Amino acid sequence: MPNYYGLQISRKDKYSHRRNQKEYPRRDVTFIELDLSDLKSIRNFVVQFKSTKKPIHILMNNAGIMALDTFALSKNDVEMQLATNHLGPFYLTSLLLPIIKETATSSGTARIVNLSSAAHSYTYKLGIDFENINNAEKYSAWSAYGQSKLANILFSNELQKRLEESGVSNVFVNSCIPESFQPTWPVTSHCHGLLLQLLVLLPRLLLGVRLHRFIAQLQMI
């Protein structure tokens, strides 16, 4: 059986690393620190990863923050949720894409999985509100989170499209929603926070965030 190398971008601590070591004791698991809200940290991460000379069969963008109560800017002066949940993975994926393409050429296929959320449906009225991304007065914790999750989906779709248009047919890009269900009733701003906590957090507590791993492990055809 061939060796497959997956790069999972997860929590900004060693908890996930220790958990992976426990779940997969025979696997070679390496921890490299990364702050997705900081472009400099992302560049440093890519330099460190390249030094390992390892391929990337699966890139899993799984890290993120959710519904910050107060407006905050990243070190690069971008609203923190959009910076961490979208711009960071976007930049990281772009820098790692040459390695992913090389891996696909030598191994047959490679895959990129971006973890989104059902909350992508509850963003601002304009979807991604480009004119007010850094407007603290119009900031809404859950709408900003939904905006970043919508950006994950749009990025995944556009990247897949551009790869295919450039003739790359062996790199597959997926965005996935780990929640087990989505509501069919309208959600107003008054019940926004409570309902989204139930919709987003409860299924994860009951089922765990496993769907993204399932997608990553699908046979690549």
Task: Look up residue 179 and give its amino acid.
Answer: E
pLDDT tens for 143-202 read: 999 999 999 999 999 999 999 999 999 999 988 776 544 444 344 433 444 444 444 444
In a domain, 35, yes or no: yes
Q: What is the CATH number of the domain that holds 112?
A: 3.40.50.720
Q: Is 97 helix (H, G, I), strand (E, B) or coil?
A: helix
* Residue that has been written with the tokens 């330099």 in this structure: 47
In a domain, 80, yes or no: yes
Q: State residue 62's pLDDT score.
A: 81
Provide the Cα torsion 68, 38, 213, 220; round to 10°: 140
> Which residues are registered as beta bridge partners of 24?
none
215 pLDDT more than 50: no
Task: Give the Å distances, CA to CA, from 190 to 72, 119, 193, 194, 203.
Answer: 23, 16, 8, 9, 22
pTM over 0.85: no
In a domain, 151, yes or no: yes
What positions carry a catalytic annotation?
139
In a domain, 1, yes or no: no
In a domain, 142, yes or no: yes
pLDDT tens for 121-158 read: 778 788 889 999 999 999 999 999 999 999 999 999 99
In a domain, 28, yes or no: yes
Domain count, the chain: 1
In a domain, 83, yes or no: yes
Cβ 171 vs Cβ 104: under 8 Å: yes
CA 147/CA 82 separation, integer angstroms: 7
In a domain, 147, yes or no: yes
Q: Cα angle vertex 56, ends 205, 21, to 5°?
A: 45
DSSP state letters, 95-160: HHHHHHHHHHHHHS-EEEEEE--GGGGGSBTTBS-GGGTT-GGG--HHHHHHHHHHHHHHHHHHHH
Domain of 73 in residue numbering reads as: 6-217
Structure tokens at 185: 């009733």
Task: Give the Å distances, CA to CA, from 74 to 17, 38, 40, 46, 59.
Answer: 25, 7, 12, 19, 24
CA 117/CA 142 separation, integer angstroms: 12
